[in-house]
Amino acid sequence: MIEHAPFPKDELDRRINRVKTALAKQNLDGVVIASPENIYYLTGMDHWGFFAAHVLIVNRDGEMALACRAMEKITFDNQVRNARFYGHQDHEELSDYVVQAMKDLGLSGGRVALERRSLFLHLHHAEGILARTQGIEWVDGSGLVDNLRQAKSPLEIEYTRKAARAADLGMSACIDVIRDGATDYEIAAEYMRVSTLEGSEPTGFGPFIRPTTRLGEEHTTWRGETFRNGDAVFLENAASYRKYQAPMGRLVYVGSAPEGAEKSAELAMDGMKAICGALKVGGKAGDAYAAWREVAASGGLAGYERHHCGYMVGIGFPPSWTGGSMVTSLFPGSERTLEVGMVFHAHSWFTNTDVVDYFISNTVILTGDGAEVLTATTPENLIIK
């Protein structure tokens, strides 16, 4: 079937060859993968059945097997061409099927990596797999495939650009409906309507819409509140295309902004420029944080620190647009080397500080010429509606 396959065969083949190279480099016979982002990356399997564990086994030759609920076979047959299927009934143990697939792929007695940090492989399944595979030398494979996903291919960049356009236009549309008396339901509905019509598919996270009283609650969203003159409306939204996430954020004041807001907006914009200026091929991720931190200090916030000023994005399944359970961020002192094709959700965030609240964030791609902001249509300057 595969009428809407996200990845052509040659793209998948290149990815599997990179996994084979990584396995050989680490003297591994195979890897057991449970992150839906990594399974999608290697097979193109795109559905919401991942609430129940899916386990992809890959051996050193690049042969693959997917173990999951038997009811997913129709989806598998429609979407996947490069793996075998091992389907368990709901009264059966997933681990029995994983172990059988491992035997069939020649991994008995081998040295095998296991994604220990996946949100989707809970303790019961993990313990079952480990208990039933005596003779295998297990090592932690968390990050093995994730690291291969960081620098995006031209096709992945194309998908990211489409997501960013939908996010940008959706953001502009929901800002337009903000007014005294507007509800967060209206704002959320307008964002979802426009971004969806512009090509967005379901996102991995958010959108987040909240008032002044909840600015510091970084992961709460709309719940039936009405905005009034003088309120600040926090918007952190995303769009998704073929599971590639493009988040962005803006802060909007209703009716009027407090004295000093213009200066805070300039500070946030200067911070974003500093982050983008520090994102250079061959540079370090920590350089971006240092550049942003210098702007914060110059604006009178010498003691202000955040956990990061952005993080990588790409393939994202619920409940995250960060690409899994690990957040790969632009944190203080990070020595991660920056490469062409990396995509970031960059933050210039000043809320609950000694200056008036302001915040902007963008999806930014690192090209050979430097950072390119993909969500630049919606203005970053002080927005009053």
pLDDT value of residue 4: 75
Predicted pLDDT at 206: 87
Q: Is the pLDDT of residue 1 over 70?
A: no
Asked if residue 2 has pLDDT above 60, the reply is no
Per-residue confidence (pLDDT) for residue 374, from 0 to 100: 98
Mean pLDDT of 232-253: 97
pLDDT per residue as tens digits for the range 265-296: 999 999 999 999 999 999 999 999 999 999 99
Kindly tell me if the per-residue pLDDT of 369 is higher than 60: yes
Q: What is the pLDDT of residues 75-109, one digit of tens each?
A: 999 999 999 999 999 999 999 999 999 999 999 99
pTM over 0.85? The answer is yes
- Using pLDDT thresholds of 50, 70 and 90, give the confidence band for residue 375: very high
DSSP designation for 218? T
- The one-letter amino acid code at 181 reads G
In which region does residue 139 sit, left (phi positive, over 0), alpha (psi from -120 to 50) or beta (all else)? beta
Cα–Cα dist 20/30, whole Å: 9
pLDDT of 325: 72
Beta-carbon contacts of 206 under 8 Å, excluding residues fewer than 6 positions away, are 221, 236, 237, 238, 247, 321
Signed CA dihedral, 203, 222, 373, 294: sign only: negative
**Interval 212-220 mean pLDDT:** 88
pLDDT given for residue 3 in this prediction: 62
For tokens 């997933």, the residue is: 94
